[in-house]
Amino acid sequence: MNITLPDGSQREYLEPKSLFEIAEDISLSLKKSSVAAKVNGKVLDMDRVIKADSEVAFITENDPEALDVLRHSTAHLMAETIKKLYPHAKFGVGPVIEEGFYYDIDLGTDILVENDLKTIEKEMKKIASQNSKIERGILSYEEALDFFHDDPYKIELIKDLPKDEEISIYKQSHFTDLCRGPHLPGTKWIKHFKLLSLAGAYWRGDSNNKQLTRVYGTVFFTKEELDEHLNNLEERKKRDHRKLGKQLDLFMLSEYGPGFPFWLPNGMILRRELENFWYDVHLKEGYKLIQTPIMLNKELWEVSGHWYNYRENMYISEIDEQEYAIKPMNCPGGMLVYKRDIHSYKDFPLKVGELGLVHRHEASGALNGLFRVRNFTQDDAHIFMTEDMIVNEVKELIRLYEYMYSVFGLEYNIELSTRPAEKFIGEIATWDKAEKALADALESIGKEYKVNPGDGAFYGPKLDFKLRDSMKRIWQCGTIQLDMNLPERFDLTYIDSNGEKQRPVMLHRALYGSIERFIGILIEHYGGAFPAWMAPLQVLVIPVNNDYHLEFSKKLVIDLQEKGIRVDLDDRDEKLGYKIREAQTKKVPYQLVVGDKEVESNEVTYRRYGEQAQTSVKVSEFLDLIVKEIKDKK
């Protein structure tokens, strides 16, 4: 067999070889440093035996795939430790998540508290230092049922698997678990970890099942990476948007409307700036703007498929003895707007945008400030086109997304989410075609992406934009969804160049995703210290002494207002230091202190938020400076 390496070189073997053996054949140091290997695109354990021609890339701790392997193995180490400390414990699932891992555990009558995590950590370090091998085994369906006969959670998972499927288990020292892998060669790699928190979690997410104890943790290959992450976690607590939202008078929540945020005057300014930015950009991009009703008849939602696929999340009412639903999505209303007119291929691409208020019934326990609410504004748009326009229009959308996210200093990665396993509408062949079109668009502009199997919308595949904020958190915001199904269900047509009726292809797309959630993300991303263009108050003028400096300060306020600057005057009879500290607390981008020197020379002395340096310039220079900064959205 031939083994092809990333540099194109090949190794020939006359008999099957384990990945360990292949790595050792290349170099002993590679064998020692490899935590796993990617074989024909799939990450496997180092003890897996290769029997046929394959492309092999060895994974060391510097490769991005290595971290998931480390975290998966650390979750098993934590489970082994808990089993040692609590012998009656039984384990649900223990997956890798975005920044770490967790395990769901049935502790019987035992109860874990936060202080117990330190004890578990200490024991984990002891077990890890023994460098136990992590070994993969294979069982048949019947053997797996027998092996886990006294574990109801594993039995339930096994019974969900096909009876003819080989079932893998992983064993280390005194712990064995049902698992697909892959894992580290041994526990010696697991050194820099931290158990973070506890939570309750219903088995398989069903509130009718038993509530298990979920233990969260994280791990990195180096102490420096772990320390940086833990510092970020502390910073996130300080930047909690619910705390800052109250401190900065942006929004409020009330027990009279759980999940329905109230916007305060400062928050409305912030919100309107984001909306205006969205409107300005989209008008320049050729979008037509509409607004559709909040409540529409049940029959519309039956046509769209929402009534059968999404009803549990919809608010239902009755009008004139007919059932209506408050819209959970803007799309069906957009379909009706399209059907109002006869369209030609010459109209395409037809871009129709809407900032539409939608309502979704979220579980009360899932509500979380602005991050998870029951009513929110989606920045939706629907782009109607011919099939041969798909690749180019997706490319144009990615360009637009890249520009808008760059304004906020947000980096992103793209995931291609494919057809769900069960709840979907349309033919599989249509889905395959749509998924290929999205992949082709990304590949044509050299954009890297990750495939997220089964996570598409019920009506089509999508590109999900995963944003990374200043604290390295990942947020799902933007999406581009290719839909060849709703145009069919709504009987949408256009007239082609031959005068024949044809079915258009449609893109659903949202950039902010939800304005409410996006604002919550920005509050924490900036720590409440917004750039001047979006800050509710952009400039605060502070006279040193009202008897001598107030008149000049008032004129300065008028000059700023005439330039469209949001400015306030702090002429209270308080000490200067107190006023400056309060302006810092409110995170005002610019503080202008007016004293004798400023009055005499017609200058301002300004200090930016978060900086100690003070700069004196002519009034006209400052006006030019801030106007340009706001215009350029710096």
> Any idea which residues carry the catalytic annotation?
331, 360, 378, 380, 382, 462, 508
**Which 3-state string (H, E, C) describes 304-361?**
HCHHHHCHHHCCEEEECCEEEEECCCCHHHHHHHHHCCCCEHHHCCEEEEEEEEEECC
Please answer whether residues 611 and 619 qualify as being in contact, where contact means their C-beta atoms are separated by less than 8 angstroms: no
Residue 634 carries which DSSP code? -
Tokens of 210: 């038993």
- Cα torsion angle, 205, 208, 211, 212, sign: negative
**Helical residues (DSSP H) of 86-111, grouped into ranges:** none
| CA–CA separation, 23 and 604 (whole Å) | 67
SS3 189: helix
| Alpha-carbon distance values, 67 to 13, 187, 414, 428 (Å) | 30, 14, 19, 34
Please answer whether residues 382 and 428 qualify as being in contact, where contact means their C-beta atoms are separated by less than 8 angstroms: no
Residue 575 carries which DSSP code? -
Please answer whether residues 229 and 219 qualify as being in contact, where contact means their C-beta atoms are separated by less than 8 angstroms: no
| CA–CA separation, 520 and 241 (whole Å) | 6
Give the residue among 57, 71, 106, 50 at the shortest CA–CA distance from 181: 71
203 CB neighbour count, 10 Å cutoff: 18
Please answer whether residues 107 and 86 qualify as being in contact, where contact means their C-beta atoms are separated by less than 8 angstroms: yes
What would you report as the CA-atom Rg of the chain, rounded to the nearest whole angstrom?
Answer: 29
Q: Rounded to the nearest 5 degrees, what angle is found at the Cα of 370, between the Cα atoms of 369 and 376? A: 135
